[in-house]
Amino acid sequence: MTPTLAFDIETIPDLAGLRTLHGLSASLSDQDVVDMAFQKRRQSHGSDFMPLHLQRVVAISCALREGEHFKVWSLGRPEDDEATLIQRFFDGIERYLPQLVSWNGGGFDLPVLHYRALVNGVTAPRYWELGEDDRDFKWNNYISRYHMRHLDLMDLLAMYQPRAAVPLDELARLCGFPGKLGMDGSQVWATWRDGGLASIRAYCETDAANTFLMFLRFQRLRGALTPAAYDAEIARVRATLGRESGAHWQEFLAAWPA
């Protein structure tokens, strides 16, 4: 059985990169740098959403189903730098060769990881394998939009039409799952600035869990899981999260009626 790895990332503006690209003085505060970047972005694009190469990764969370086991966690330690987090992510792909599952991973998470991996000198040979050395990857690799080694559920369900895409939070809640709890991506910078990395990692973990639950629902939809097998997988997730001590998992389960 191929391991399944649902994942999510959280980012903040790349302060060092913004200082470099705009020649900003070291005396300018981090908040002033971000305010300037947001203002320029709003003027040029109508929103303060930063370009992908200027998104610094501060959390990567995974929900892994392997063998008889399921677990959800954030990569690395809170004090680890961006390079370490990204390298650990690609090292996991090197080790497990999982099916990656994301929600908008093709439009955001993976391109961000690509750019930031380049910036940080990360290596990821198996992830970038396209069939030159391993023919199994020629027709099914992590890079192609239409292959299954990376399944972007949002993209697939929308039939690859951006106007048909829907938010994970809303569809998860319509399916009876908890959805987002107390935070969204727009709050990550302020939370990080105020020392709330633990809250960001917890939020990221619940997004990974929601993504995995949506994958199970999709597997039932396409007949890859029978109703009985689906119920067993859902029970496994509930039981695993019920053994976790984090307050975010208690809140998650409380928002997920049996």
What tens digit of pLDDT does each residue of 29-48 get? 999 999 999 999 999 999 99
Spatial distance between the Cα atoms of 194 and 203, rounded to a whole number of angstroms: 16
pTM confidence score? 0.96
Residue 181 pLDDT: 87
Spatial distance between the Cα atoms of 96 and 55, rounded to a whole number of angstroms: 27
Contacts of 111 (CB under 8 A, 6+ apart): 52
Q: Which two tokens mark 174?
A: 């319509």
Residue 182 pLDDT: 78
Residue 186 pLDDT: 82
Residue ranges in the chain modelled with pLDDT below 50: none
Residue 223 vs residues 57, 98, 179, 217, 253: alpha-carbon distances, Å: 36, 20, 24, 10, 27
Could you tell me the domains of the chain? 4-254 (3.30.420.10)
155-186 pLDDT, tens digit per residue, is 999 999 999 999 999 999 999 999 998 788 78
Q: What is the CA radius of gyration of the chain?
A: 19
